[in-house]
Amino acid sequence: MTQYILALDQGTTSSRAIVFDRQGRIRRTAQKEFPQLFPRPGWVEHDPQEIWSTQIGVAQEAISGAGLKASDLAAIGITNQRETVVVWDRATGEPVYNAIVWQDRRTAPLCDTLKAQGHEDLIRERTGLLIDAYFSGTKIGWILDHVPGARARAERGELACGTIDSWLVYRLTGGALHITDASNASRTLLFNIHTGAWDDDLLALLNVPRALLPEVRASSEVYGETAEGLLGARVKIAGMAGDQQAATFGQVCLERGMAKNTYGTGCFMLMNTAGEVVESRNRLLSTVVWQLGAGAQAQRTYALEGSVFVAGAVVQWLRDGLGIIRHASEVEALAGSVPDSGGVFLVPAFVGLGAPYWDPYARGTMVGLTRGTTSAHIARAALDSVAFQAAELLDAMEQDSGARLTELRVDGGASGNNLMMQFQADILGVTVTRPQVTETTALGAAFLAGLAVGFWSGTDELRTLWKADRSFEPGLDADRRAHLLGRWRRAVERSRAWAEAEQD
């Protein structure tokens, strides 16, 4: 009897593969970074072939490293960086251009035009999203308009496009499947989250031919099998979800009002709103968090989401940009060598600000510097900035949902930083709980795949597999919390519209 699930976790800076056992424990992990391409200021690209080669490489490494064969796997689940998009030739599988990454801002002027033309209400109502360069739709249009002949080829049905899940499934199946799941589709500006289908009005508005798009499937079902010869045996592909939705499932936030925050390159907080699309009054997103079942039996679960573009990436900046640490692991000790940030506030708006501001022209700002400021104060301010951004998201979510959160479940690389997690609890005034398995993005993909093939009996069994590692209790009085948040918001205001002013 097959005893394992393989999760493919294709992220912004690396590809990972993790083998999970029946208890949801990690048997083996393999990971490989790949190059980040920055052809112009504000542009971020990846080589799709690098994404594929690193992902299949770590898959093979994880299987063999665990002492397994592909035939020991019950299924494969896929989770991915979400809004990043690829356009490729259906016949050859060759990309026509690099993948345009979710962080890329090149289509911000087009988004400004769409807003000025009054399309924001339509897009918000149909998709639950705001008009922003973050999402996939305008990126697809840019590729079609800037690669010679691409638009004509797309309209003839010669090209395919998709988010990274689609690209991986296409390659894993040897070109047999061109599909996505509802959670990834809901991040494109092209998908109607109420009907669960591509929206003709939005396709026309963004000038994206329907022939380009993948078939939308459930997040948990058997889609097909890996191509012959790829892994040594054919394995069912049975689960797909965007990284943040997968992390929500992996944290078993299965009831309305439960919330998680993932600290990765960016920072993403999702609150389960069950079968209701909650329209945000605070510029949060309403998104499909997963879909179970298909056709008339399809059950879509929704969430409110707040997206912070720079979280863990601020630590990379301390390392690679400022050079004040040599390894990311050093930041906690450096920041902990001072009692607080010494009045320094760092707003890491390196690629603009996400929720609740949605300001693509904001830029990184540091205020409160004095002659006494040291690298330790800057490191402390960098960690604090992640927690401050999360606090603004939670405040907006509570206002929109009418629910007061009592616990925030956390995961992702930076959730292992005890100093940051304690400050997160302090500034939220809410218990912060870290699970034993913090690779919840991959775990969620494994759970979705495992449910589809009967590896796990149902969501009740999944609840028993989730175990807490540590809880952080808030220890800051309300007046001090309000003071710090007020200072943070003043710092944010100083970062806003900077690039736009510069262009003027």
**Binding residue ranges for ADP:** 12, 16, 265, 312, 413, 417
* Those residues with Cβ within 8 angstroms of residue 144's Cβ, 6 or more apart along the chain or in another chain: 87, 150, 151, 154, 207, 208
Burial call 320-329: b when 16+ CB within 10 Å, e when fewer: eeeebbeebe
396: closest CA among 282, 302, 294, 495?
282
Pick out the residues of the known binding site for glycerol. Answer: 82-83, 134, 243-244
Calpha distance 486→310 (Å, rounded): 20
Q: What angle do CA 274, 280, 284 make, to 5 degrees?
A: 95
List phi, psi (to 5°) of 60: -65, -40
Sign of CA dihedral 398, 402, 404, 408: negative
Give the whole-angstrom CA distance, residue 394 versus residue 283.
12
Binding residues for sn-glycerol 3-phosphate: 12, 82-83, 134, 243
The SS3 assignment for 315 reads helix
Phi, psi of 397 (to 5 degrees): -65, -40
Start-to-end CA distance of the chain, whole Å, equals: 66
Determine the Cα–Cα distance for residues 434 and 247; give it in Å rounded to an integer.
13
Annotated binding-site members? 12-14, 16, 82-83, 134, 243-244, 265, 312, 316, 413, 417
* CA atoms of 263 and 252, how far apart (whole Å): 17
Phi, psi of 493 (to 5 degrees): -60, -35
| Single-letter residue type at 79 | T
The SS3 call for residue 65 is helix
Are the C-beta atoms of residues 348 and 379 closer than 8 Å to each other?
no
Give the span between the Cα atoms of 67 and 150, in whole angstroms. 45
Q: Which residues are annotated as a binding site for ATP?
A: 12-14, 265, 312, 316, 413
Tokens of 135: 């999402």
CB 107 within 8 A of CB 38: no
Using DSSP's 3-state secondary structure scheme, residue 15 falls into strand
CA distance 445 to 17: 11
221's enclosing H/E stretch is strand 220-225
Cβ distance 252 to 467 under 8 Å? Answer: no
**Which is it for strands 14-20 and 4-10: parallel, antiparallel or unpaired?**
antiparallel
Q: What's the rounded Cα separation, in Å, for the pair 191 and 415?
A: 32
